[in-house]
Every structure is written in C-alpha cells, then in structure tokens.
Amino acid sequence: MGRQKGQTGTGSAAGREAASAGTVRIQKYLSDAGLCSRRAGEKMVEDGRVTINGKRITRPGTPVDPVRDVVAVDGTEIRPQKKRYLAIYKPMGYVCTRADEMGRSILADLIPPEWASVYPVGRLDRESEGLIFMTNDGDFCLRVTHPRYGVLKKYRVTVRGKVENRDLRPALEGIRLGREVLRAASARVLAHDFSGSLIEMDLLEGRNREIRRIMKFLGHKVENLRRIQIGPIKLGSLKPGKWRVLQDSEVAQFFPGTRKS
C-alpha cells in the first residue's frame, strides 16, 4: 500500500516558514536514504534531479515530510534506510569513492554488497592507509568532517631524513600555499635518525593531501602515512582491508549533549 502524498513547500520563503517540526531539509532526507552526502544532495537538487510529490525542486533546504511526502531522484522513489556506521582499515591502493571510472579498487569492495548505501566519511589519498569511516548518515558525516566540530584526526607519518621538533614549527604556525593555509593542530617527532623519522601529527581539516604537502614544503618525502585515530575512535587491532561496525556508544560520542537516535 503506497504512502499518502502530502503537501510540501518548494524552497520559497513561505514554504520554509511553513515547515513543521516533523519535516527535514531535502538534502538531509537524501543523505538519510543513504544516497549521498548532504553536499552531494544539494547538487542533485540544484541540478533538477529531485521531485517531491511529483513536483521538481531546485532549491536546497526545501522541507519534506518523511512520512507523508514522496521523494524521487531521476524518477526513482527514495526512502530513508537504517543508519549504518562502519570503521574500516583502508589499505594502500584503494580510493575513497563510491565508484571509480579508472577501475581502481574502492572502499565498497571491502564491505558486503547489501551495504552499498554507505559512503566514505572524508578521505584518505590512494597512497595512504588507516582508519576511515563509512556511513549513510549525513549528520554523522558532517560531525566528523566539518572543522567547527573540532574532531581531530591523528596520523603516523614516516618521512625520509632526520626531523627535529623545531623543524615542525611552520606546520603548527600555518604554511601558506597559494590560497590555502595548511596547519597541523599538533605535531611531534616520535623517533628519528639520519635515514628517516617517525612523526605523529593531528589535523582538524582534511585538505587534499595536506600532510604530504606540508612535509614536501619542509623538505621531506613521505614514505608512509597511516591514520590511527578519528576523534575518540582508534584504529586498534583492525588489519588492512578489515572493518567493524561502530557501537551505538561510539557513534554517540560525536554528538555530545544531544541524543542520537
């Protein structure tokens, strides 16, 4: 038996004001359905691929009632799914995308096919390894990746050459490269000799290849880069290519002061 169609706004000011406590923004609905991240959902809406009760919308933020309204993307009805949260040890050689036109190995290759709705939370470049999350919960993805939530990501970095703690000061103060400023939240040398050094570095933002660019600026080539922790969650005993489901208590740690259902 199909769901009853209700009335919804189309992104106008009046429509947004009419949104009740039972509605959510369309990009959140698409994210909750495991279709994409919120940002990608906004792009789908702007591209005119989304309809609510048969009416095409083009403004992100349009309210939708998950119970009464019928949402479709490219003509296919989309419904929210059970939330999933996975911790994966990404091996080197894998890319953090849901599909790859070049035929390279992707994270989805490591998980059961029935969980195809989950997507990577943030990214690790192809040459890097370590902890990464996958989910179909846009709220969780935002909490983990947006700098305003202050979720630190901890890395172990092996580089060529001897590095002293004083050599890392520019990374802590901020390195300007073009329009970007690359900055580590913390950085310290764990071990070193004249052939190489092991560095522990924390980041708040996941800019593209940030640690590699920082170390290149400092004159050192990265030989191995491994993420060992995201917020309170550690890589622990996970082996390359293996995964585990995050416990409810672990997910809740990313929503302090709120009740995550």
Yes or no: say if 83 and 245 are a contact pair by the CB < 8 Å rule. no
Handedness of CA 16, 12, 46, 125 (dihedral sign): negative
Q: Which is catalytic among the residues 69, 74, 125, 193?
A: 125
φ and ψ at 41, to 5 degrees?
-65, -40
* Beta-sheet pairing, 50-52 with 71-73: antiparallel
Amino acid residing at 2:
G
Yes or no: say if 82 and 261 are a contact pair by the CB < 8 Å rule. no
DSSP H helices in 18-131? 26-32, 38-46
Q: Is position 125 annotated as part of the catalytic site?
A: yes
Active site residues: 125
